[in-house]
Amino acid sequence: MNNTPHFTWDDLQFFLAVARTGQLSTAARQLRTSHATVSRRIDRLEFALKVKLFERNPRGYVLTAMGNRFIDTAEKMESEAERLRSDLVAGSTQQRGVVRLSAPEGFANFFFASVLPEFGARHPNISLELVTIQQIMSLSRKEADLAVVLDEPKGGPYFSEKLTDYHLQVYGSQDYLARTPPVTSRDDLPNHAFIGYIQDMIFAPGLDYLGDIHPRIRPQFQSSSIFAQLTATRSGLGLCVLPYFFASHYPELQIVLPGDVNLCRHYWITCHRDLKQVPRVRAVIDFLVEAVGRNAHAFLGNVPPSRQPDRRAAAARTAKS
């Protein structure tokens, strides 16, 4: 009698989706199927293996000890299946498939959205999913294929490449600056209303910059959305630190202390090493690197020559990543 478990690669995809999300409904959305189908596939897999992979509770599905052991095997099979798919696609003249990109709100809306028509013309068979809620996307759980991040990943199975430096300055609306005391030095800044991020919701250390300007600044209005901060600044609510590459589009905004306050941050493109050479993922990486390079001046702004980043040093750092 043959006691070999009978299950398919599709069953493992259902298992991985539930293991990574912990919720049948979320897994169903990712797999574009129904809640009931996901539940049935998990039951079938457990029956075939004759082991319990998940504990069911009101909060969702939690991996058992055997489930945790099994996920390593399933991910290896997933990696091999992806590699085989890449080899097959590489023989085609065009890349195709879905790529999910996670990116900060400002970068996604004020830069990437503007070059999307060009990307679509070059790669008509690649479908992009752009996610701007970066703090909930996980490359390790492969919830996103690619991520634009402010801080280079340290350790882990990741490939990363630096896209660009970008500069931020303090901005205020002309209306706000006309009705408030003048700002002649950094020591004047704590006396002004400030707009910033909600402290305990800052998802990247690179966004925690008010303390870099003056330790006594306490924001009067805080939001997790850079769009809300921009709108509040344009409405005259207070001063705000904004990236040059989108604040410069609004003539009513004026740079405060332009010769004194100038912050530099960085954008990196990163992905799981297993996905680096997948043709459709590589196509998005190459396009982003090229498009950002062509628009470097928009990110660097009108920075004095002495403060411009060393492009050769940046290229050398990128080559090492």
Query: What pLDDT digit, counting tens, does each position of 98-108 carry?
Result: 898 999 999 99
Q: Cα torsion at 34, 36, 37, 41 (round to 10°)?
A: 140
What's the pLDDT score for residue 174? 97
Average pLDDT taken over every residue of the chain: 84
What's the pLDDT score for residue 6? 63
What's the pLDDT score for residue 139? 54
Per DSSP, the chain holds a count of helices (H) and strands (E) of: 13, 11
Query: What pLDDT digit, counting tens, does each position of 249-260 carry?
Result: 999 999 999 989
What domains appear along the chain, each with residue ranges and CATH number? 9-90 (1.10.10.10), 97-163+267-298+311-320 (3.40.190.10), 165-264 (3.40.190.10)
> DSSP string covering 206-233, please?
GG--HHHH-TT---SEE-S-HHHHHHHH
* Candidate from 6-10, 104-108, 219-223 with smallest mean pLDDT: 6-10
pLDDT band at 88 (very low <50, low <70, confident <90, very high): low
C-alpha 50: how far from chain center: 39
C-alpha 271: how far from chain center: 10
pLDDT > 50? residue 37: yes
| Closest-CA residue to 77 (of 308, 300, 274, 295) | 274
Cβ contacts of residue 290 below 8 Å, gap of 6+? none
What's the pLDDT score for residue 320? 39
Task: Give mean pLDDT, residues 90-114.
Answer: 81
Q: How far is the CA of 229 from the CAs of 163, 195, 235, in angstroms?
A: 25, 6, 10
